Structure 1
Amino acid sequence: MDQNVVLAVDIGGTKIAAGLVGADGQVSGHAETPTPATEGALGQALRALLTSVTDGVPISAVGLASAGPLDMVRGTVSPVNIPAWRDFPLVEEVRGIVPGVPVSLVGDGVAAAVGEHWRGAGRGAVSMLGIVVSTGIGGGLVLDGAPYPGPSGNAGHIGHVVVEPGGHPCSCGGAGCVEAYASGPSMVRWAREHGWTGTDARALAADAGQGHAVALAAFDQGTQALARGIVAASTMCDLDRVVIGGGVSAAGQTLFAPLRSHLGRLATLGFVRRTTVEPSLLGRQSGLLGAARTALLASRGPASGNPSEGGEQLVAPLS
Structure 2
Amino acid sequence: MLKGVDVGGSFVKVLWENGRREKHDIRETKEDREAFLQKLREIITAGNPTGVGVAVAGFTSLEGKVFKSPNIPVLDGVDFSELLRETGIPFAVGNDVSVASFGEWFFDHRESRCLILVAVGTGLGGGLVIEGEPFFGVCGSAMEIGHHTILRGGRLCHCGRRGCWEAYCSSYGLERTYRELGGPDLRNPEIIRRALEGEATALRAVRIFEEFLSLGLMNLLHLFNPDRVVLGGGLIEGMKGLLGDTERKVKDLTESLPAGCFSLHFSSAGEFLGARGALALIKKKTTDIRS
1:115 corresponds to 2:103: yes
> What residue number does 1:32 align with?
24
Task: Tell me by how many angstroms 1:244 deviates.
Answer: 0.9
Structure 1 pair 52/78, CA: closer, same or farther in 2 (3 Å)? closer
2:42 to 40, 51, 58: 51
CA displacement 1:233-259 (0-9 Å, x = unmatched): 111111001111111112344442353
Task: Tell me by how many angstroms 1:92 deviates.
Answer: 3.1
For structure 2, the residue ranges without an aligned partner over 5 or more in a row are none
Which aligned runs of 4 or more in structure 1 are off by greater than 6 angstroms?
A: none
Task: Tell me by how many angstroms 1:38 deviates.
Answer: 4.3
Structure 1 pair 116/218, CA: closer, same or farther in 2 (3 Å)? same
> What residue number does 1:6 align with?
2
Q: 8 Å contact 1:19–1:31 — kept in the other structure? A: no
How many pairs were matched up?
291
> What residue number does 1:276 align with?
263
Task: Tell me by how many angstroms 1:148 deviates.
Answer: 1.2
Task: Tell me by how many angstroms 1:263 deviates.
Answer: 1.2
Task: Tell me by how many angstroms 1:172 deviates.
Answer: 2.2
1:243 corresponds to 2:230: yes
Task: Tell me by how many angstroms 1:300 deviates.
Answer: 3.5
Give the partner amino acid of 1:170: C
Normalising by structure 2, what TM-score? 0.88
For structure 1, the residue ranges without an aligned partner over 5 or more in a row are 304-315
> What residue number does 1:79 align with?
69
Q: Where do 1:1-319 residues align within 5 Å?
A: 5-13=1-9, 15-21=11-17, 26-33=18-25, 38-40=30-32, 44-45=35-36, 47-48=38-39, 51=42, 55=46, 57-73=47-63, 75-93=65-83, 95=84, 99-120=87-108, 122-197=109-184, 199-271=186-258, 274-301=261-288
Structure 1 pair 226/115, CA: closer, same or farther in 2 (3 Å)? same
Q: 8 Å contact 1:126–1:240 — kept in the other structure? A: yes
Task: Tell me by how many angstroms 1:231 deviates.
Answer: 1.2
Give the partner amino acid of 2:144: H
Q: 8 Å contact 1:7–1:54 — kept in the other structure? A: no
Q: 8 Å contact 1:114–1:147 — kept in the other structure? A: yes
Task: Tell me by how many angstroms 1:82 deviates.
Answer: 2.9
Query: Aligned-residue CA RMSD in angstroms?
Result: 2.7
Q: 8 Å contact 1:20–1:53 — kept in the other structure? A: no
Give the partner amino acid of 1:115: G
Normalising by structure 1, what TM-score? 0.81
Q: 8 Å contact 1:134–1:248 — kept in the other structure? A: yes
Q: CA separation in 2, counterparts of 1:147 and 1:37?
A: 32
Q: Secondary structure of the equivalent of 1:65?
A: strand
Q: Secondary structure of the equivalent of 2:4?
A: strand
Q: CA separation in 1, counterparts of 2:253 and 2:29?
A: 38
Task: Tell me by how many angstroms 1:163 deviates.
Answer: 0.9
Q: Secondary structure of the equivalent of 1:231?
A: helix
Give the partner amino acid of 1:16: V
